[in-house]
Amino acid sequence: MPSIMITGVSSGIGEASAEKFAAEGWIVVGTVRDPSHVTRQWLGDVSLVALDLGAKGNAAAAAATAMERLGGAPDVLLNNAGMVLFGAVEETADRWRDVFEINLFAQMDLIEAMLPKMRERGSGVIANVTSLGGRLTFPFYATYNASKWALEGYSEGLWHELKPFGIRVKAIEPGYVDTKIFKKALGSGTAADVDSNSPYAPYLRSMDHFSRTVDKQSTPAEAADEVWAAVTDPSDRLRYPIAAWAKLLLRFRRIAGEQVFMENFHKRWMYGSQE
């Protein structure tokens, strides 16, 4: 029976992916900050491991617990957990390192802990959930996007390095998915969420409005179906844009060219609504 370790299964894509893989007969080890606070009843073989990605050393400890529970490295490591930061780069400098610790360095620690056993076995899949924002950058999400661009580059490097050992690397790039993580980053949606004294205030409000009004977002379950397809794809393909708008926006950027794309969307994002 194949096994998978999925980080961040308390909600969103992680929770839906844990349900999907368990329903397909996989053994699932999922991570949450505190398993004692999880009351959800899983339909399938899902066990939980404590992992706070923001605490250094926790990733290696969680990996060790998972491998002890599974009797070795899982067939798949799905790095899904992360955090979103919304705000001007100039005004969020005190949180940059937290974002990179959670979205990049802790993911790298998990991979480092799993790799020796996967390499000895001669097989495995490392699937990193990056983002549409790992291929293009949205205003006021720059720190989050930068961490995902870094994870993209790291994943591509791993693709080369691990291919000789039979380990496949996947970068899964979700577009717009209706999850709590972005809603939490945006706040309540009131004017109080934006400091009126900030020089960026009108542009923050415009981008906030855009982010909240994106229609046709995928559900976590729909995204999980695409995650399943990517993880179980036996090919050497690296990148998988999934969920609403990802393929369309990347295609437009490729056809129009980066500068034209940036100029076009700059107007929508920064000046679309400054109410």
Instruction: Answer yes or no: are the C-beta atoms of 176 and 217 closer than 8 Å.
Output: yes
242 and 230 in contact (C-beta within 8 Å)? Answer: yes
Residue 43: what are its φ and ψ, rounded to 5°? -100, 80
* Mean pLDDT of the residues in the chain: 94
Of 13-17, 64-68, 168-172, 269-273, give the lowest mean pLDDT range. 269-273
Best CA proximity match to 157, nearest among 169, 145, 175: 169
- The tally of CA atoms less than 13 A away on the side-chain side of residue 5 is 30
**What is the model's pTM?**
0.95
pLDDT tens per residue across span 80-129:
999 999 999 999 999 999 999 999 999 999 999 999 999 999 999 999 99
Query: Which residues make Cβ contacts (< 8 Å) with residue 151, sequence separation at least 6?
Result: 103, 104, 107, 128, 130, 134, 171
pLDDT band per the 50, 70, 90 thresholds, residue 189: low
Quick one: which of 76, 64, 72, 86 has its CA closest to 17?
76
CATH numeric code, 3-185+218-246? 3.40.50.720
- Which entry of 144, 154, 176, 203 is annotated as an active-site residue? 144
Are residues 32 and 38 in contact, defined by beta-carbon separation less than 8 angstroms?
A: yes
Q: Is 240 a catalytic residue?
A: no
Strand pairing partners for 171?
A: 128, 239
How many CB atoms lie under 10 A from the CB of residue 146? 19
Rounded Cα–Cα distance for residues 47 and 31 (Å): 9
**pLDDT of 253 strictly over 90:** yes
Average pLDDT over residues 129-150: 97
Strands 124-129 and 76-79: parallel
What pLDDT was estimated at residue 99? 97
pLDDT at 264: 95
Predicted local confidence at residue 188, as pLDDT: 56
Token pair of 180 as six digits: 């709590």
Q: What DSSP letter does each residue of 213-271 carry, written as one string?
A: T--SPBPHHHHHHHHHHHHH--S---EEEESBTHHHHHHHHHHH-HHHHHHHHHHHHHH
